A = this chain, B = another copy of it.
Amino acid sequence: MIAGGEFALIRRFFAPLAGPGGLELRDDAAVLDIKPGRSLVVTVDAVIAGVHFLPDDPADLVARKALRVNLSDLAAMAAEPLGYLIAAALPGATDEAWLEAFASGLRSDQREFSIVLLGGDTTATTGPLTLAVTALGTVETGRALLRRGARPGDRIHVSGTIGDGAFGLKALRGEAGSVAEGDRQYLIDRYRLPQPRLALGRKLAGLASAAIDVSDGLAADLGHICDASGVGAVVWAERVPLSAPARAVIAAGSGNLAAALTGGDDYELLFTIDPGRAAALKEVCEELRLPVTEIGEVVSAGPVRVIGPGGKELALGPGGYRHF
């Protein structure tokens, strides 16, 4: 295993990643000052080998995905990330090369997102590799984006493309059918390395009426907005933005739109916005060079309905990833 035990492991692989409030990971907790006028935003999400990533996925990508699914939660609240803590339960077979790659993945994303490591905990486990990341950010007080603000008549928008994560997992499992190698790789990359939409989330504060990140599946996550807001929603299936590789999987008969809408792991932002703010939203998208697509409308009640070509409602089956 690891020479020198837990403390040597922390000193060697994790302490170099610690930021100012992390006190070199030498203390019992991190100490952080929050700027006046800003509120703290905090979230935790665990990823487990065999559930959220494949046990032989590269360690640097495992680290970055564990971090990014949490940054995506901050993005959905319009927060600016500060740092993170990580609790790692490591199987006995974890070796130094794996930890080296894992730490280098964290390092690279710390640079990309201007965040620092604030604390953590490492333990040996007899079970699968389990990583619980707590992400901290801040937002101007009173400006956090919530799920509960959607109003009937608001338009439903989503960033980027939907279904790539689900089809990427299919591709990794050899179930994507006869698609070009480039398409296959594109989808796998999208599954392994989500892009938290932090810049978009920041711009949506004061603009969107409700927001969520798409982790459980677009249909299920839209359902969360509807539940929290006490509204219903209609989605036009043909407007749901799909990447060319995702279309190729569907054309090859290895996937369909329902799978894209319920597969999850997209980490795009799904939000509602008053139609009167369309021009302001267009400006934001152009500034960020990030495509955002209007896919439906908030209605006063009812479940999330997805209307397919010809006006027929799409049956989605159990919506979203179910852990239990």
Which residues of A are at the interface with B, using a C-beta cutoff of 8 A? 1-2, 5-6, 9, 23, 26-34, 36, 39-46, 48, 50-52, 72-74, 76-77, 79, 85-87, 89-90, 118-128, 130, 132, 134-137, 139, 141, 144, 146-148, 212-213, 224, 227-228, 322-324
Residues of B within 8 A of A141 (CB): 33
Q: How often does this chain occur in the complex, in copies?
A: 2
CB of B42 within 8 A of CB of A34, answer: no
CB of A41 within 8 A of CB of B31, answer: yes
**A27-B147, A213-B28 as given contacts; A42 in contact with B125, CB under 8 Å:** no
Query: Among the interface residues A9, A44, A51, which one has the most CB atoms of the partner chain B within 10 A?
Result: A44
CA distance A68 to B29 in the complex (A): 14
CB of A34 within 8 A of CB of B40, answer: yes
CB of A122 within 8 A of CB of B31, answer: no
CB of B26 within 8 A of CB of A43, answer: no
CB of A29 within 8 A of CB of B41, answer: yes
Residues of B within 8 A of A86 (CB): 44
Residues of B within 8 A of A44 (CB): 85-87, 119-121, 132, 134
Task: Give the residue of B31, B72, B134 whose beta carbon is less than 8 angstroms from that of A144.
Answer: B31
CB of B118 within 8 A of CB of A28, answer: no
CB of B132 within 8 A of CB of A2, answer: no
**A46-B89, A77-B31 as given contacts; A128 in contact with B126, CB under 8 Å:** yes
CB of B124 within 8 A of CB of A127, answer: no
Residues of B within 8 A of A72 (CB): 28
Q: Which residue of B lies closest to A128 (CB)?
A: B127
CB of A323 within 8 A of CB of B32, answer: no
CB of B32 within 8 A of CB of A125, answer: no
Q: Which residue of B lies closest to A34 (CB)?
A: B34
12 contacts between A and B (CB under 8 A): A5-B323, A5-B324, A28-B73, A28-B76, A31-B41, A31-B139, A42-B85, A44-B85, A48-B127, A87-B87, A89-B130, A124-B324
CB of A42 within 8 A of CB of B32, answer: yes
